[in-house]
Structure 1
Amino acid sequence: MNAQKFYDEWKELVQLSKLINLRKKELKKILKSLENNYRPMRSPESLKREMEMAERYKNGETLQEIGDHYGLTRERVRQLINKVGVSGKSTGRYPTKEVIK
């Protein structure tokens, strides 16, 4: 093997090594981002419980009453029923600006 060919192959290996290290860094960033943004899926049981809370709320129970039943705070109950798409405004519990006028 002549010196020029050896040098060219060595140069190519160095470039590949840099590229591999760059890819490793990119992969580490992606994995770190995934770890930071990971949110486990809700289990069917917790989704069922949230739906039950929302139904109770629609039927007139207060957040406090629901929270007392499940051992949660009013705020946590509000957060959970909002996750399933129910809010005080959507149930007509709170008057809108038009009603206040």
Structure 2
Amino acid sequence: MVRLPLTPADIERGQRLGALLRRARGTRSMLDTALDAGVSPETLRKIESGRVATPAFPTIAAIAHVLGLSLDAVWAEINRPDGEADHARTSRGTGGQLAS
């Protein structure tokens, strides 16, 4: 399978995703978060640092669920227009839900 090069927009979304996950994780350890989500700590580190700009959906869904983030909030944060303030925050009770 050939992967197309990432666009600047892809890279920016990956950086926003990483920042959101770092904020949501707070003081919780990366190791505990990764293990609870069923991903390797290295994978979580790469996502949080922006090195993996386009992680697989199940990976993000699992991490968001563990952190109590709704997928709607994640989507809104990573796709917000430039210049807007960060709107996505942890929202306990809605983790992992995607509106249809």
Q: Which has the larger radius of gyration?
A: 1
What TM-score results when the alignment is normalised by the length of structure 1? 0.32
Higher helix share: 1
